[in-house]
Amino acid sequence: MKPRPDDIFVCTYPKSGTTWIQHIVHEPMAMCDLSPMIEASGAQFANALESPRILKSHLTYADVPKGAGAKYIYACRNPKDCLTSYYHHQRALKHYEFEHGNFDVFFDIFMDGRISFGDYFDHLISWLDGIEKGEEKIMLLRYEDMLAALPSTVVQIANFLEGSAEELVRDEQQLAKIVESSSLASMKMNQQRWFPDTYFQLNHRDEFIRKGGSRNWKSLFSIEQSQLLDERFRQRLEATAAAGWWQKEMAWDVRKKES
């Protein structure tokens, strides 16, 4: 498919805030709920949509359609919470046939990159490299920052979108409405909007938008698994802008990171 100048791409590795950002983008633009995943819907379907289009993707920077002045919002999440959420996601969707899947098995699959959309670190590095190149209009968000400061995140996104979205959030009442409807609690109550039964066959609907948050990984990880992922993080990201990210979120003992 060919990007258009007014396209907005919401790009993430799975379970890093895709639906959350999709919702935030829709609100100030007052658009319909349709925002297809391009790798699932295909170019023909995307090309038939009227402008402006909101398109979502889990593709790497190298593979996502680029050009024409389109805007890209890329969100990332610390790998431990991402892995944990992805595990629950695969258990929830029937087509994965993993409803009773073992976490230790999934951990090994994730670490080996033998999973839908590939290796977490390859994906993150590809987008960090793309941002550094500066050839496209890319906004970088971290899931944890969105959790900590949703109102300012909404404003940042609206300012990036410009136009009517930027104007709308200058109204404090309108901003408050968008923030409220974009809270994880509100979205959890309205899951059917984004995940209709006609499209998603779920084992457990309440697991698609679960509870969000940070450090949920510790309920499943062993200390050995935590250390393995810490080492992989250092090896893969030490030469990138992400080298110092998520120290508190990934720490086994938060008190040591705060001392």
Please list the active-site residues: 58
Distance CA 41, CA 103 (A): 30
**CB within 8 Å of 42: residues ≥ 6 apart:** none
DSSP 155-205: HHHHHHH-HHHHHHTTSHHHHHHHHHHTSHHHHHHTHHHHS-TTT--BS-G
Distance CA 90, CA 188 (A): 18
Beta strands of the chain (E only): which ranges? Answer: 8-12, 54-57, 71-76, 137-142
What amino acid occupies position 186? Answer: S
Please compute Rg for the chain using Cα positions. Answer: 18
Q: Which two tokens stand for residue 15?
A: 């379970």
Q: What are phi and psi of 16, to 5 degrees?
A: -125, 20
